[in-house]
Every structure is written in C-alpha cells, then in structure tokens.
Amino acid sequence: MTIQLITFDLDDTLWDTAPVIISAEAVLREWLTEHAPNLGGVPVEHLWAIRERILSSEPGLKHRISALRRRVLFHALEEAGYDDRQANDLADQSFEVFLHARHQIEVFPEVEPTLETLAKHYALGVVTNGNADVRRLGLADYFKFALCAEDIGIAKPDARLFHEALQRGGATPETAVHIGDHPGDDIAGAQQAGLRAIWFNPQGKAWEAQKAPDAEIHSLTELPALLALWNSRHPS
C-alpha cells in the first residue's frame, strides 16, 4: 500500500533534547533563587522525591509531564513555607519560565527543508511523549495534527496513541509510517499498532531490540528517497 501518512517523534528526532532541557533546568533554578528565596537551592534529589510521592498517589500524571512538573513545583514551594496562593502563583510563573526556556530549541538544519518536501506528497503528523509544542517552534504549518501524550493521558509505546494518530491523519496502518529515535517507544510502539517504523539513528548505534525496524536512517534527508522507493514497490 502507498504511504499516505508520516508521523514524527519530536525530541531527539527533530532536535537534540538534552542541551535544551539542561539549559531550561538552569534557567528555572535561577528564577526560583530570585523569586522564591524560601525555596533556596533545593536539591534535585528532593524534587525527585516529591515527584515519586505524587506519582504514587496519582499514577495518571505519569504521562502528563507538564502537569506533573507544575505539581512538583507547587509542593516544593508549599513545603518551603509559601501559603497556597503564593505557592500556586509561583508554581505557575516558574513553570512558564521553564516552558519558555524548554522551547529555545535548535531544530536540526535539515528538518524544515525535509518537512517542506514531504508535505507536498504526504500528510504529516506528530506523535510525542514530550511537551514541546510545534506551534511555539514555527513548525505547525507542516503538520496536519500534533498528538501529545499528555493531552490524552496515553503515551508511546501504547498502540492506542498510534491508532489515534491514524484516525486524525485519515490513514490505515498499512498506509502510515512513524519515524523516531527510541527503539521501544517509537519503533516497537508503531509496529505493534501495525504501522511501518523507521529508526532515526544519527549516531550509528547498534540495534539491540528484538524486532528490527522497517528501515534505518542517519539523516532526515534520506526520508524522501526512501519513501518514494517504498511507494514505487507497493503502488496503490
């Protein structure tokens, strides 16, 4: 069957995630030091302990990472002596500071030209477990939809997330392909839902999972030719 829908993972597929998260964490800490001095230089371990405590009582927050991070901030501020109103206000403000910094992303240079080429021939979508917003990054026009795990409380590799993507993209599993860097969340998840899966592997790592991806690429620039080859072999 001819490919009609291409879905993309975001973090570590369209950009390198670690540097921006490290930077956003630093910006958040700096903001808290200035605006919430009672909190002081709270150890990261303490925030993780709060996170685990929240998840044990509200496991549904596991995939709602923005709500979870805000809740962690609220509890940390409350424990530092701020009353409910102050803790709420500071949690809201500090989370927005973090989210803004989290979107200071350097998209890989080949991303926009590749998306532009692909969008002429296929429907494109986003399937992500992260909280990056393509609208804030100026990429939304390339995509028919953006499906974030935290919006519906289901995360990759759950097949239901991919089934929802198929519905939004107006495609069947046979006419869709997913591209991502994670062997479990992206490759196994997509394949379990019946899609083909392309492993984005820019560092040339060895494949260690059980079932191999349907294809492997080292640069997104390889996508148009690969998909054209597939379609030439399986015309609709």
Q: What is the mean pLDDT of residues 131-158?
A: 94
Local confidence band at 235 (pLDDT 50, 70, 90 cut-offs): low
- Specify the DSSP class assigned to residue 16: -
Residue ranges, CATH 3.40.50.1000, the chain: 5-15+106-233
CB distance 178 to 190 below 8 Å: yes
Q: What is the mean pLDDT of residues 17-45?
A: 90
Residue ranges, CATH 1.20.120.1600, the chain: 18-102
Please say if the pLDDT value at position 43 is more than 80: no
Is 5-15+106-233 in CATH node 3.40.50.1000?
A: yes
18-102 topology per CATH: Four Helix Bundle (Hemerythrin (Met), subunit A) (1.20.120)
Q: How far apart are CA 109 and CA 106, in angstroms?
A: 8
Query: For residue 85, what pLDDT is reported?
Result: 97
Local confidence band at 108 (pLDDT 50, 70, 90 cut-offs): very high
Spatial CB neighbours of 50, under 8 Å, sequence gap ≥ 6: 72, 75, 76, 79
Reported residue count of the chain is: 236
Residue 215 token pair: 């294809």
Residue 160 token pair: 């239901």
Q: How far apart are CA 173 and CA 198, in angstroms?
A: 14
Please say if the pLDDT value at position 45 is more than 90: no
The closest of 227, 223, 180, 221 to 199, measured between CA atoms, is 180
Please say if the pLDDT value at position 158 is more than 60: yes
Kind plus residue range of the DSSP H or E element containing 217: strand 215-217
Q: What is the mean pLDDT of the chain?
A: 94
Min mean pLDDT across 34-43, 72-81, 183-192 is at 34-43
The whole-model pTM stands at 0.92
